[in-house]
């Protein structure tokens, strides 16, 4: 059931994008990310900038479908960044594990366990965010916004572990 709800949320942007000329660009987001001096904390204020610019630039961008479409476009961008970053952190963890003493914990195992635990946490948190709308039209934007924020936050957390920000 939980996966069906997530699938419904992610189906809406495709129909919105087909029906509208969505104006999505990551330029403002990437510019914001490039200007921060403290990558571990300050970058969080950049999250949502691409979605907000999309809503502003797209006719109907502040409709429920428009918000979901724009929020989902940025969430997908962060998801791709998360997958890339996870791969980089995993490669670094494997390298660290090669030289670790036998008594030291495995960084690879810890990273994998953390990420596997984070996914159901994210899903449950975003289901709760949707539930606050009691089935109303705000549930879609709230759920996708939550996925965007949680995915971005996790990406930035993993980036910080590499010192990449």
pLDDT in tens, the chain (165 residues): 334 334 444 444 444 444 458 788 777 777 777 755 555 556 788 899 999 999 999 999 999 999 999 999 999 999 999 999 999 999 999 999 998 898 999 999 999 999 999 999 999 999 999 999 998 999 999 999 999 999 999 999 998 888 654
Q: Which residue has the tokens 């610019």?
A: 53
| pTM exceeds 0.95, yes or no | no
Residue 44: left if φ>0, alpha if ψ -120 to 50, beta else—which one? alpha
């Amino acid at each position: 059931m939980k996966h069906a709800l997530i699938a419904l949320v992610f189906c809406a942007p495709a129909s919105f994008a087909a029906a509208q000329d969505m104006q999505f660009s990551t330029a403002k987001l990437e510019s914001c990310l490039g200007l921060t001096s403290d990558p571990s904390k300050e970058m969080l204020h950049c999250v949502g900038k691409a979605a907000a610019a999309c809503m502003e630039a797209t006719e109907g961008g502040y409709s429920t479908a428009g918000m979901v479409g724009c929020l989902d476009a940025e969430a997908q961008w962060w998801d791709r960044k998360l997958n890339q970053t996870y791969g980089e952190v995993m490669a670094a963890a494997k390298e660290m594990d090669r030289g670790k003493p036998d008594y030291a914990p495995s960084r690879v195992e810890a990273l994998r366990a953390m990420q596997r635990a984070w996914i159901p946490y994210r899903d449950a948190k975003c289901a709760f965010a949707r539930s606050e709308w009691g089935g109303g039209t705000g549930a879609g934007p709230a759920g996708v916004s939550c996925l965007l924020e949680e995915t971005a936050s996790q990406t930035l957390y993993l980036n910080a572990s590499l010192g990449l920000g």
